[in-house]
Amino acid sequence: MRATLGDMSNSMFIRPIRGRVFAGVCAAIATHYGWNVNSVRLAMALLVFCTGVGAVLYLALWIAIPSEW
């Protein structure tokens, strides 16, 4: 069975143009999983300030997730 473009777009992460605060990484994660974007931002902020891993993760996702044009 072949996946159509419509099927593939639902399974891809895309950093949206609207709703961004910085680069749209948290908005992309929240949109993809159907989560509240503020909850994702809070979780990312906790990772950044408590462990430092969040900063590296955020940068990696910023590079890896394509932006919506």
pLDDT tens across 10-33, in order?
Answer: 568 889 888 888 899 999 999 999
Q: Is the pTM of this model over 0.85?
A: no
Both tokens of 36, joined, read 């509240």
pLDDT tens-digit readout, 29-50: 999 999 999 999 999 999 999 9
Q: Where do the H-state alpha helices sit in the chain?
A: 5-11, 25-33, 37-50, 53-64
CB 25 within 8 A of CB 15: yes
